[in-house]
Chains A and B, each alone.
Chain A
Amino acid sequence: MEKKVLLKVSNLKKHFQIRSGMLGKESGSVKAVDDVSFEVFEGETLGIVGESGCGKSTTGKTLMRLIEPTDGTIEFDGKNITTLSKKEMRKARRDIQMVFQDPYASLNPRHKIRKILEEPLIVHGIGNAKERAEKVEKYLNIVGLSSYHADRYPHQFSGGQRQRIGIARALMTNPKLIIADEPVSALDVSIQAQVLNLMKELQEDLKLTYIFIAHDLGVVRHISNRVGVMYLGRMVELAQSESLYEEPLHPYTKALLSAVPIPDPDFAREQIILQGDIPSPSNPPTGCAFNTRCPYATQSCREQNPTLQEVKPGHFVACHLYEQVKQ
């Protein structure tokens, strides 16, 4: 069955410049996102995982052009949104919405919930005052809050409730795609489960497509259909989530999965403990970014940067080990 591609990202790059010296000359750049390509199908959840500094959040924000990409194209619903004017892009955001990590910081502390939720509607000129009020109530109910909550301020809510509000805000304009950037990492486990369940229900009810960015591999597996693993600004592996979790191919993915503590004292496994730290993205190693920590690194890994290749149907990996296999 051919699924419809909702979002197609090709060769996305975001380099932050570092300036120094007397005249602020550009002395280098942080390659936060470096040549990332993937597709998102309608109705699915694409998880993006990685450790801090891997560029997953930057990728998410670049997709909405909250951060302007340095290079590459983003096609949304068949339309190239990288070339849209600022104004057109603002309109396009009606269909792509975002849920943020920090439910404390992403709500304006001086606005009541009603105002926060109404804002997207006003911005996009949807409905009159009455319709807007109704819609606010409706979505408050949808995310499990009550209509009387509309007249409260953000600080009167708990973290989980605030994240529900954040989700409600994202839903107000009936978007097609929601980019959720670490939506549950600031929450306690029991609350996290509530929010994850809510997101899943909403996806089914409202036919949403998610890009779910997180560092918690358990959470990502739970919610995603497909998962991409990022390391130092690059996508190192992308596959169906079953395939990725059961048979990870990239040495980094393997190590990452084996490092996750399993809440089961009887579960025995051979842990791969990686040596050393993640290199700085401003000064990444040459060749494969992972070669400094990779147990299988060869000379070519130090010299050449592997590309993301489909080594099994629907399973992409960027590693020299598999290039050879394929050839």
Chain B
Amino acid sequence: MSELTQKVSGQPIVVDQAVGPWKEAWRSFKKSKSALAGTFIVVFFVLLAIVGPLFVPQAINEQNFSMRLQAPSSQFWFGTDDFGRDIFSRIVHGARLSLTVGFFAVIFSAVIGSFLGIISGYYGKWIDTIISRFFDIMLAFPSILLAIAVVSILGPSLQNALIAIAIINVPNFGRLIRSKVLSVKQEEYVMAARAIGMSDARILWRHILPNSMIPVIVQGTLSIATAIIEAAALGFLGLGAEAPQPEWGKMLADSRQYLMTAPWTLIFPGLAIMLTVLGFNLMGDGLRDALDPKMKS
């Protein structure tokens, strides 16, 4: 037998390092140009959100009526709005708001959704029925209307918009996790874990959860993208950020009347939303390909 072992190890193909699934994923992620581009955009906006405000030329809420609606120039890169505020500075600050909303809304909905989904998928039976019906109901709601209703209850503010977005995204995560748990439950390594005498709780924690979480990461990244759009949409309807917060959707809504006269007030906030969302979408796609090639939209 030792001879055999030697033969085996004598193979020319010996990968001497432990290449874990994460490393493997990173490798394939790195290969994708679009994923890298997405990451670059995301990192750029994250950095912008963190350190950008320290460097912007003008205090964002400083009103200067003599400088209203100035076209982009070397002084005001993206022009000024109807308060004479520098749009560039406001967009930089707005990155912080949009990213915060996107990120936390997704964290909340992912945590709650995963919790419900795991319970539903793992325990099944009547709990599953109840939770699944609940998800059905939530999904049958036109989500934007639901968000509007939630904001109407809580009062319009960025924080409440965040809560509304978190709520409408719960069933998406819940369903995803539930189906993933159901499929992981059928995997042979779970059967194998039971065969060695492992308890259900341990199987859930050690085997089912880690393997079910991958789609959550992917979905989470993609959901940040949609959450940012949803926050902007609520802001656009006047149900999101409060004045004078430089939230991008609100900036768009505030500048609608200048579509003809001062289009820069609309173009730049819109571009900022689109780019950020694009970044997260690209990154999410890359993550999906790297982590979970089988997963589909």
Asked if the two chains touch in their complex, CB atoms less than 8 Å apart, one says yes
Cβ contacts under 8 Å, B21 to chain A: 109-110, 153, 155
Chain B interface secondary structure, helix, strand, loop or mixed?
A: helix
**A100-B188, A106-B191, A144-B5 known; A156 and B197 CB under 8 Å?**
no
Q: Report how far A94 CA is from B197 CA in the complex, Å.
A: 7
0/1 per residue, A65-103, Cβ < 8 Å to B?
Answer: 010000000000000000000010011111001101110
Q: B140 at the A/B interface (Cβ < 8 Å)?
A: no
Cβ contacts under 8 Å, B206 to chain A: 119
Q: A145 at the A/B interface (Cβ < 8 Å)?
A: yes
Number of A-B residue pairs with CB-CB distance less than 8 Å in the complex they form:
93
Q: Report how far A156 CA is from B195 CA in the complex, Å.
A: 24
A105–B20 touching, CB < 8 Å: no
Cβ contacts under 8 Å, A161 to chain B: 8
Q: B194 at the A/B interface (Cβ < 8 Å)?
A: yes
Q: B153 at the A/B interface (Cβ < 8 Å)?
A: no
A144–B195 touching, CB < 8 Å: no
Q: Report how far A172 CA is from B197 CA in the complex, Å.
A: 12
Q: Report how far A81 CA is from B47 CA in the complex, Å.
A: 61
Q: A204 at the A/B interface (Cβ < 8 Å)?
A: no
Q: B211 at the A/B interface (Cβ < 8 Å)?
A: yes
Q: A286 at the A/B interface (Cβ < 8 Å)?
A: no
A151–B187 touching, CB < 8 Å: no
A153–B19 touching, CB < 8 Å: yes
Q: B138 at the A/B interface (Cβ < 8 Å)?
A: no
- Chain A interface residue bracket vs B: 35 or more
Q: Report how far A144 CA is from B188 CA in the complex, Å.
A: 23
Most B C-beta atoms less than 10 A away, residue of A97, A110, A145, A148:
A110
Cβ contacts under 8 Å, A119 to chain B: 193, 196, 198, 206
Additional A-B contacts beyond A102-B188, A119-B193, A155-B24 (7; CB < 8 A): A93-B195, A93-B196, A110-B21, A110-B210, A112-B20, A119-B206, A148-B16
24 contacts across the A-B interface (CB closer than 8 A): A66-B191, A90-B198, A91-B197, A92-B197, A93-B197, A94-B197, A100-B192, A105-B188, A106-B188, A106-B191, A107-B192, A108-B189, A110-B20, A110-B21, A110-B211, A112-B20, A123-B196, A123-B197, A123-B199, A141-B5, A148-B16, A152-B19, A155-B24, A166-B192
